[in-house]
């Protein structure tokens, strides 16, 4: 079958990836970055075809949209990845046994990495760069919303690979159909790991239906706790940035938790949000404070459904608490374990929050917008893992490797 040929070619290509010298990989990635810049008009033209099929009010619209500046940023990320140290061959552990055997634990590629993602064409570039640099083949399954964009990006990448006489099988884009998703989830003989990127619905579907091992890059249901000791000027800046920088990203703020004793600060804290027409779903104490200041068309009473929701839009829930214990309980109940933050000046409270909150990234007195591989100076990322096995938090090059043991002897045999 044709699909088996595609997967078999990917598996065969993975065997040869380890022979690519890093200097060669660097050249390829820099040329891909150049090609992205040179093809900005073409990429924007194809991206527009996708945009025209989507409602501008759809939360995915901003993620789908490419701009000249965004493509330039993607190209810069590719160059950054090119210059990172390759993890391949790194000796994680080495020892010599009493019998003289020399053991080395070294980093090796995962193999064929399958990525299932939605309306995020930048992922096509990011995954290719990270997989190539870490010696992996990338098997891409994008959504139909971004199909024109993804195919245009793959065409740009393949033009560079052809010039370097590198097989196009090292990066493949599957059809945007449900059938292709099902095939990928069952490709146990060909794909080593699958990483879903997208909504909680997508992630749940992949986790529940995949026969291939999965690394969850979970949805971000993000909280910021404004403690009784918080500085309101820091708080306003942090809250505004976490909510407004890009509302459609997974590290954007979804729920502001505020101590009851600090409700007088609330109008000041959400002033920028009010100006940006952010819809607020407030519990009763916060609603009472905001109702005379916040325009009625964007202020609503919070329902249970608003807590534990990743909005990906100009929407925010507010929860009032009477203690840090209540705040911790709320986060534990509703968090997706992606990014959580506290704004406080009390060092003991900060320390307890950082210890108690179970999330991939936990912040004190700064914006959750920093949960990003490039911001962590890791280069681009393949996703933010919210699980605890293999990788957690931003996944860059080391997280795209496994390891193997190398054992060197001189004729030793086991006696028992």
Domains of the chain: 2-217+382-408 (3.40.605.10), 222-370 (3.40.309.10)
Place of tokens 């997508």: 202
Distance CA 155, CA 403 (A): 32
Query: Quick one: average pLDDT of 302-316?
Result: 94
Query: Quick one: average pLDDT of 156-172?
Result: 96
Tokens matching residue 11:
């598996």
Worst-scoring range by mean pLDDT, 160-164, 263-267, 271-275, 381-385? 381-385
Q: Please, are residues 128 and 139 in contact by the beta-carbon 8 Å criterion?
A: no
Name, in order, each residue with C-beta under 8 angstroms of 383's C-beta and a sequence gap of 6 or more.
195, 197, 215, 217, 394, 395
Could you write out the DSSP letters of every residue in 31-53?
Answer: HHHHHHHHTHHHHHHHHHHHHTT
Residue 266: the pLDDT is: 97
Q: What is the pLDDT of residues 35-53, one digit of tens each?
A: 999 999 999 999 999 999 9
Q: What is the pLDDT of residues 364-414, one digit of tens each?
A: 999 999 998 878 887 778 888 888 888 888 898 999 999 999 999 999 999
Place of tokens 């005379």: 292
φ, ψ dihedrals at 136, nearest 5°: -105, 150
Distance CA 64, CA 43 (A): 12
Q: What is the pLDDT of residues 74-117, one digit of tens each?
A: 999 899 999 999 999 999 999 999 999 999 999 999 999 999 99
Residues β-bridged to residue 137: 112
Cα–Cα distance list, 31 to 35, 157, 168, 391, 399 (Å) = 6, 9, 15, 30, 25
Distance of CA 25 to the CA centre of its chain: 23
Q: State whether the Cα torsion 2-400-120-251 is positive or negative.
A: positive
Q: What is the pLDDT of residues 227-259, one digit of tens each?
A: 999 999 999 999 999 999 989 888 999 999 999
| SS3 (DSSP) at 214 | strand
pLDDT band at 1 (very low <50, low <70, confident <90, very high): very low
Q: Please, are residues 185 and 205 in contact by the beta-carbon 8 Å criterion?
A: no
pLDDT band at 18 (very low <50, low <70, confident <90, very high): confident
Mean pLDDT score of the chain, rounded to an integer?
Answer: 94
Q: State whether the Cα torsion 77-34-46-131 is positive or negative.
A: negative
Q: In what order do the strands lie in the sheet with 401-408?
A: 91-96, 102-109, 401-408
């Amino acid at each position: 079958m044709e699909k088996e040929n595609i997967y078999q070619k990917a598996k065969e290509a993975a065997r040869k990836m380890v022979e690519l010298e890093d200097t060669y990989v660097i050249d390829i990635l820099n040329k891909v970055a150049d090609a992205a810049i040179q093809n900005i008009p073409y990429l924007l033209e194809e991206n527009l075809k996708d945009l025209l099929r989507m409602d501008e009010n759809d939360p995915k619209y901003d993620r789908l949209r490419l701009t000249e500046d965004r493509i330039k940023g993607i190209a810069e990320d590719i160059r950054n990845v090119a210059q990172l140290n390759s993890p391949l061959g790194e000796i994680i552990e080495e020892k010599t046994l009493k019998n003289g055997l020399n053991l080395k634990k070294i980093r090796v590629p995962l193999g064929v990495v399958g990525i299932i993602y939605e309306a995020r064409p930048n992922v096509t570039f990011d995954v290719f760069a990270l997989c190539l640099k870490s010696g992996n083949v990338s098997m891409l399954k994008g959504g139909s919303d971004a199909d024109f964009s993804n195919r245009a990006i793959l065409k740009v990448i393949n033009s560079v690979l052809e010039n370097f006489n590198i097989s196009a099988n090292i990066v493949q884009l599957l059809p945007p159909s449900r059938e292709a998703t099902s095939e990928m989830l069952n490709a146990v003989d060909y794909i080593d790991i699958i990483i879903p990127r997208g909504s909680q619905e997508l992630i749940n579907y992949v986790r529940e239906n995949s026969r291939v091992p999965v690394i969850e890059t979970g949805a971000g249901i993000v909280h910021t706790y404004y403690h009784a000791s918080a500085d309101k000027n820091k708080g306003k800046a942090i809250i505004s940035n976490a909510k407004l920088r890009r509302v459609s990203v997974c590290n954007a703020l979804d729920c502001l938790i505020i101590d009851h004793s600090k409700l007088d600060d609330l109008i000041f804290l959400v002033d920028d949000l009010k100006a940006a027409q952010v819809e607020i779903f407030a519990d009763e104490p916060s609603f009472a404070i905001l109702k005379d200041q916040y325009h009625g068309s964007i202020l609503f009473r919070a329902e249970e459904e608003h807590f534990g929701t990743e909005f990906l839009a100009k929407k925010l829930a507010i929860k009032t608490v009477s203690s840090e214990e209540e705040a911790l309980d709320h986060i534990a109940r509703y968090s997706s374990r992606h990014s959580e933050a506290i704004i406080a000046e009390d060092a003991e409270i900060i320390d307890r929050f950082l210890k108690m909150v179970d999330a991939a990234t936990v912040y004190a007195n700064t914006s959750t917008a920093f949960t990003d591989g490039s911001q962590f100076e890791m280069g681009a990322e393949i996703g933010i893992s919210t699980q605890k096995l293999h990788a957690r938090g931003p996944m860059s090059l080391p997280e795209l490797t496994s390891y193997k043991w190398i054992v060197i002897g001189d004729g030793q045999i086991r006696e028992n």
